[in-house]
Chain A
Amino acid sequence: MDSRLNEVRETFANFADEDGKWKYLLDLARAHKGMDAALKDEKFIIQGCASTMYLVPKFDGAKIHFEMDVEGGTTNPLISRGLGALALKIYNDMAPADILAVDPKFFQDIGLNVGLSPTRSNGFASLVKQIYLYARVFAALAKK
């Protein structure tokens, strides 16, 4: 887990300017594979996002696997998709307890919020909140 955080922290520390961050998010977005249309159910939509973001969790009893996709109608919300991909880079395929051990302030610390529009910032916060919610639910289920 620490290695993931360190990798992202290092990447962000090495950006020469703000543009570096945006281009990194674009790269993450382009590299991110969408999800099966059959999984796109309304109940998996993240509330508070300007675009329609789906986050589908799958718990195998040990780790949570997330599928994420963003739809923007006629637009291509690459930054939003990049933000989602970044969150998954940290939290995907982790045990619920490990997810809960990550301080969500991590993203502020690396400067992700700097220059991020309020709508995207809120959308990202909603996504992270949802990931923690799933982690708490699956952690409780795992204990039973």
Chain B
Amino acid sequence: MFSFLNGKSPFDEAEERLEAGETVNGKPKLPTGPIMGWQDGVFLLVIIGLIVGGYQYYQYVKRNCAETFAKCDALYVAAAEDATKYAEVETCYEATWDLAFVSDTLEVLRQNRLGEIEDMRNAQKDLLSSANDALDKGDTAAAAKIVTEYKGAMLLYTGDKSEWDEIVKIAEIHAAKVAAAAAAAAAAAEQAAADSAATKVPATKKNSAAKK
């Protein structure tokens, strides 16, 4: 056990002096020496240091937590405008697992927002599954449509992500083919129009010559 004043209180000491006959005007002579030894002083300082340090650390941890969550919240608000930012939001909230202190309110917020992003990931997984089904049926156009129409964040994990990227490549090739076909059709239409104009001109010339 720790003890201050070497286990004695000033009153004990005064009592002892009184018993020993040390009195001032009939009252026990008050102790005149230091109220505690240097060891007790050091011990007290250490205790005060621990309390103050602990409090400061707690404040720091709280402030750090609030700042990190505020940053994630700002990202979450921005993601409402630009859905691609949800991946950053998730990374930000994932980083909060390292925080030493999270209040219940912030814990609920974190759980709900990560849950929301998990739902988005599942929705993207469903889209991937539909795109794969379309590819299996040989309907490249439908698969391409699914991946190109998706405007959300890339939330899929590695394996699913590479599948998605593959379909995006297929979609790009498909789009290029469609564009090439469209360009060829346009060129053919233009050529046909030019040919038709060319065949009409001599006829007009012939007509005007005939009129003369």
Query: A-side interface residues toward B, CB under 8 Å?
Result: 19, 22-23, 26, 50, 74-79, 115, 117-120
B interface, size bucket: 10 to 19
- Structural contact, A22 and B97, CB atoms closer than 8 A: no
CB distance from B26 to the nearest CB of A (A): 64
Q: A23-B104, A26-B108 are in contact. Are A117 and B115 (CB under 8 A)?
A: yes
Query: B-side interface residues toward A, CB under 8 Å?
Result: 94, 97, 104-105, 107-108, 111-112, 114-116, 118-119, 122
Q: A118-B122, A119-B122 are in contact. Are A78 and B111 (CB under 8 A)?
A: yes
Beyond known contacts A75-B114, A115-B112: 4 more, CB 8 A cutoff: A26-B104, A74-B97, A76-B97, A117-B119
Residues of B within 8 A of A50 (CB): 115, 118, 122
Shortest Cβ distance from A72 into B: residue: B114
Q: A26-B107, A50-B118 are in contact. Are A117 and B97 (CB under 8 A)?
A: no
| Interface residue from B104, B107, B108, B118 paired with A117 (Cβ < 8 Å) | B118
- Structural contact, B94 and A23, CB atoms closer than 8 A: no
CB distance from A22 to the nearest CB of B (A): 4
Residues of A within 8 A of B119 (CB): 117-119
Residues of A within 8 A of B112 (CB): 22, 79, 115, 117
A-B contact pairs, 18 of them (CB 8 A): A19-B108, A22-B111, A23-B104, A23-B108, A26-B107, A26-B111, A50-B115, A50-B118, A75-B97, A77-B111, A78-B107, A78-B111, A79-B111, A79-B115, A117-B116, A119-B118, A119-B119, A119-B122
